[in-house]
């Protein structure tokens, strides 16, 4: 795509089932099929690279490959896992997620998006396809409503909101758990309070509680080492 106005306006219509139980479920099922095949043939679940390569082909076949992310919006920022674009409509952001926190395979990524939408209904993700970021990495493309007229939540407010929805702090507040999911990176710049009083958890990292999420987070997150340095 060359990124002109017509293509920008038509981009989203190319993925008509881009809701959680549409495109996301189909991509997850395809990636799961790749995992099952490799596990049967090679006896391993370490197939992240193969899944990503196959998903690129799958996305092109299913009209959900976004050739140029600048057809969606203007580049804004780069975080530890997301390349962020401000949508041309002025009310959304697009995040190109590089699957950093999925270690051996992509199962944690797909589970994470579903969990996010379950817990944080004020700021759900819409999964709209795949693209390539500025580093040449294949990424999932997530759309989220832009939160305006908001301030950063305080650590005390974040803790209280988690307790309200059934979570408690672990590891001196490094993450929150309800015994089903562990949620990391719920820090003030990732949790906003709107003028409507709602809490917007715009960018957290979620693992199943029995999935060694803390080890993966320690391995890949620059924020973990920073937080330990600050606490020390």
Look at phi and psi of residue 83 and say left if phi exceeds 0, alpha if psi is from -120 to 50, else beta. Answer: beta
Instruction: Return the number of other C-beta atoms located less than 10 Å from residue 36's C-beta.
Output: 12
Residue 170 has pLDDT above 90, yes or no: yes
Q: Which residues contact 196 (CB under 8 A, 6 or more apart)?
A: none
What pTM was estimated for this model as a whole? 0.85
Q: Are 127 and 18 in contact (CB under 8 A)?
A: yes
Q: Worst-scoring range by mean pLDDT, 42-51, 88-97, 203-212?
A: 203-212
Residue keyed to tokens 């490094």: 174
Strand, coil or helix: 74: strand
Instruction: Give the integer Cα–Cα distance in Å for 210 and 143.
Output: 28
The pLDDT of residue 103 = 86
pLDDT-based confidence at 227, cuts 50/70/90?
A: low
Distance CA 184, CA 37 (A): 31
> In which band, very low, low, confident or very high, does the pLDDT at 21 lie, cut at 50, 70 and 90?
low
Predicted confidence band of residue 198 (pLDDT cuts 50, 70, 90): very high
If we measure between CA atoms, which residue out of 61, 70, 77 comes closest to residue 14?
A: 61
- pLDDT tens, residue by residue, 53-110: 999 999 999 999 999 999 999 999 998 899 999 999 999 999 999 999 998 999 999 9
């Amino acid at each position: 795509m060359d990124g002109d106005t017509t293509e920008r306006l038509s981009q989203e219509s190319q993925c008509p089932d881009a809701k959680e139980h549409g495109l996301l479920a189909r991509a997850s099922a395809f990636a799961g099929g790749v995992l099952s095949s490799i596990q049967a043939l090679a006896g391993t679940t370490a197939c992240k690279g193969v899944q990503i390569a196959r998903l690129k082909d799958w996305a092109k076949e299913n009209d959900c490959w976004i050739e140029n992310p600048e057809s969606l919006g203007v580049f804004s920022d780069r975080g530890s896992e997301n390349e962020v674009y401000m949508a041309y409509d002025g009310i959304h952001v697009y995040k190109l997620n590089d699957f950093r926190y999925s270690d051996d395979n992509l199962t944690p990524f797909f589970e994470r998006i579903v969990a996010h939408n379950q817990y944080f209904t004020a700021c759900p993700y819409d999964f709209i396809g795949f693209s390539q970021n500025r580093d040449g990495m294949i990424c999932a493309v997530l759309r989220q409503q832009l939160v305006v007229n908001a301030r950063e939540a305080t650590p005390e407010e974040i803790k209280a909101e988690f307790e309200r929805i059934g979570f408690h702090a672990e590891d001196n507040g490094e993450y929150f758990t309800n015994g089903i999911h562990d949620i990391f990176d719920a820090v003030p710049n990732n949790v906003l309070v709107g003028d409507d009083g709602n809490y917007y958890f715009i960018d957290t990292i979620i693992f199943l509680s029995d999935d060694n999420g803390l080890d993966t987070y320690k391995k890949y997150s620059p924020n973990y080492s920073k937080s330990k340095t600050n606490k020390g």
